[in-house]
Amino acid sequence: MPALPTLYVQPLPQDIVDSFRNAQNIPAHAPQIPADTKGDELIEPEHGRAGAYSTNAKGRYDATTLSQRHIAWGKLWAAQGYIALLVDGFGPRGYAQGFPRFSYETRPAELNEVTVRPLDAYGALAYLRARSDVAPDRIGLQGWSNGGSATLAAMDTRAPGRTGIGFRAALVFYPACGLKGQFEDGYLPYAPVQVFHGTADEEVSPRRCGELVEKSKAGGGAIEIRFYSGASHSFDDPGSKRQRIEANAVATQDAVQRSLRFFAEQLQVPQRIRGARPRY
């Protein structure tokens, strides 16, 4: 198994950024690529409403101040031999510090998770497909909270910014499923999507997500949702505040293993799972 890579800041090239209006100057964070993963599969994560960085960043927003959750998942994917690239959708627009709970109605339009953030995902996808160390047809998308909502929007057949083949599959953690009312007529992902949600989520409605998923499945959508009894929002945050809640710890362990299996199957990488456990 290769050593865990360190993190570095890597801006998206200008020719990619220019091709997506409203997705300008987007810096991305990615693990350095181990030598033996050339041409391997890639996971592209989308951060939530708190942004990509730790609450202790104190004005320094770079790879050294990423949040615990993003670092934990990045290391987990790297340990499995994947490449992972985290796009910062808030910082370049002047909101690197993210947003507090229950601030949804006051957030600026340029951070819209349905019409704007999918453009970031597809800008990054185009960039990644141009790299020689990435398998262009085996790229998965992962998102948490507001980034989970953006991931849902990005996986719809009508997603803004999507041209040709999109992502191979997506993992979505505790999203808000109102999605600006854009999918009242139905939500249909073009590739498999797995959603995880706690029943005790204090920020968004698990019931609403369940309804979205069931309606989508009835219309032929390849989407599933798994509920965790008693688990809260951000149940996989590795900090002690979340993990000392038994329901969160149980949900985290199960969701991690299911995520590993899901991408191993959908990205067609059998034997990928090595019994990894997150280092929380």
Q: How many other C-beta atoms are found inside a 10 Å radius of the C-beta of residue 74?
A: 25
- What is the distance between the alpha carbons of residues 33 and 134, in angstroms, rounded to a whole number? 10
- Predicted confidence at residue 279, as pLDDT, reads 54
Res. 216: pLDDT tops 70:
yes
| Confidence class for position 28, pLDDT limits 50, 70, 90 | low
pLDDT in tens, 226-240: 999 999 999 999 999
**Angle at 48 (CA atoms; ends 106, 39), nearest 5 degrees:** 145
| Confidence class for position 241, pLDDT limits 50, 70, 90 | very high
pLDDT in tens, 79-104: 888 888 888 888 888 888 899 888 88
The residue ranking higher by pLDDT, 25 or 230, is 230
The pLDDT of 39-63, averaged and rounded, is 82
- Predicted confidence at residue 40, as pLDDT, reads 56
- Predicted confidence at residue 105, as pLDDT, reads 87
Res. 44: pLDDT tops 50:
yes
Percentage with pLDDT > 90 across the chain: 51
- Predicted confidence at residue 175, as pLDDT, reads 98
Res. 217: pLDDT tops 70:
yes
Q: What is the pTM of this model?
A: 0.86
Q: Mean pLDDT for the chain?
A: 83
The pLDDT of 144-169, averaged and rounded, is 94
**For residue 15, is it left (φ>0), alpha (ψ between -120 and 50) or beta?**
alpha
- What is the distance between the alpha carbons of residues 169 and 138, in angstroms, rounded to a whole number? 9
Q: Phi, psi (5° rounding) for residue 268?
A: 55, 60
The pLDDT of 55-80, averaged and rounded, is 88
Q: 3-32 b/e with 16+ CB inside 10 Å = b?
A: eebebeeeebeeebbeebebbbebbbbbbe
Contact 129, 136 (CB under 8 A): yes
**In CATH, what is the architecture of 7-266?**
3-Layer(aba) Sandwich (3.40)
- Predicted confidence at residue 46, as pLDDT, reads 85
Res. 15: pLDDT tops 70:
no
